[in-house]
Structure 1
Amino acid sequence: MALRRRRLLELCGTAAAVGLAGCLGDSMPGEDDPTHENVSDGTVDYPGMVDGGASVTADRYVTIEYDDPETSFILQPIYEGEEASDDQFRVQRDLSGETMAGFIAPVHTGEAFEYHVFANEAFVEFADWNVVTGTGQNLTDGENPGFERLQGPVYGMVLSPGEAELLAIVDTTAEELQSRDGPSPTGLAIIRGASGGQPEQSVPQISFGFEYDATAEQLTVTHEGGDSVDASRLEFQSDADITVDDDFEGTVAAGDAATLTAPSDAEVRIIWTSAEGDTSATLAAWKGSDA
């Protein structure tokens, strides 16, 4: 399923207003010969940065398990609104290659987590990056200290977003991410509290339109905006006798339509079910004129 801008909201919730601060600028060595204690030959030394108090595993997503406090994180690469492929953008500690690459290292200061963001030159030059944080029901733009060169091809910044559950370095604003008509984002997100290598599924946010031909008893259902969703997750339900003549297929996105035969006294519901089958929700419903 495509990872659209709303997916950032689904991964862990959205942002409260929190302060973000960089702490690299004053201690940076000369631009001609930069060095950094946590970078060697273009590779980030994590979990060495936290004395081995964390583990990093890579499956579909990069997962970080932090020992004290016991917390888990997922790093999520996004490219133009979808899950990034390895030839587009990689989440890894080795930043010496020419393909866009980045890594976020969470470090607990004794009071809260701060996030050391590392990226290669290809990533840094790709966009004018924006910092977005999330906790609750709103996304918030944070202060962006900007990247500074740490060593060779590696650039970095340090962000301190307090108790935020989501931190994203993206090429869009918080307002654009929350808008259904906003641009598809590219960037890197770290999600606190996620585990198992797979972000928890949330109910997709979709606007459906209904057009009914009473003579033919034909109902056309159109995806008019919002999240994309796998057609296998959607089902039409009704207490009346309905027939799905032309169902949704593949990844259902804006403009896709399905047609049903339904009497004018029917009520038709669009039901979404998670891949695990443990969550379902009614996304939209249509009532005929005689229902």
Structure 2
Amino acid sequence: MDLLALDDVRRRLRIVGQTYDGLRSIEVVRIVGSLDRSSDFDRDFRPRLRRSQQRLASLREAFPEGKMPPIEAFEVGGAFFVSDGHHRVALARQDDVDFIDADVTVLETNYTIPPDVDVRQLVHTEQQRRLLTESGLAAARPDVVIEFSRTGGYPELLELIKAHGYDLARRRGALPEPAEVAADWYDTVFAPGVAALQRESLPASYSYKTDADLFLWIYQRRRSLQVLNPAADFDAAARDAHGQRVSRRFRKEFLRERSTPLPQRD
């Protein structure tokens, strides 16, 4: 696994502030990335460049007891990104050191970043956040959680909400605000769809899928059914979906591609 690049994390997560936290001891296992050298080391801070071995040897000679100067690092959501001191972290990893002194600057975010975070989680978190903010759901229904198993569901759902806004504007003869569109879509489309799939016990039959995954599925089934029967509703689509067989190969591929967003901080 590669080190994460701080610029990538900044871009994908919402940074809401920056503060200087001073010198303190940090857990080495929570150092997951770098400011500008993410390609020079792997995730366990094993060097990828030959010249690094000489640098490590020089550090061992200069600090035989292991007491080295503090590194410099940024903290984001409980994870740390090195700006200076990569080889010192590499030595700490080699020696199974649990803590290292660091001069820390905190980049404040609404998310928690665990030590085993990967790029897929960052992408997933970004896509979920974009759905909620760009659709207006974050403003209209702030307590609502919509989570897909794969990131492709978020832009697809965002397009459905935008299309709902277009239809709503035509019916009303005026352009509604995004939050108004999102609230109407949630109340008249998403919530009824989820209720229908729950009446048909689809979450129990497809436990590896989220309600959002299943909603998109029966939404597409309803659209197909309406070609022959314009009156087909979500209940009909849920019944039709329940009768569909899913191959073991599809399920295996689905599970392999599944990821989760980062948890929100309290």
Which has more radius of gyration? 2
Q: Which has the higher helix share?
A: 2
> TM-score, normalised to structure 1's length?
0.24
Q: Which has the higher strand share?
A: 1
> TM-score, normalised to structure 2's length?
0.26
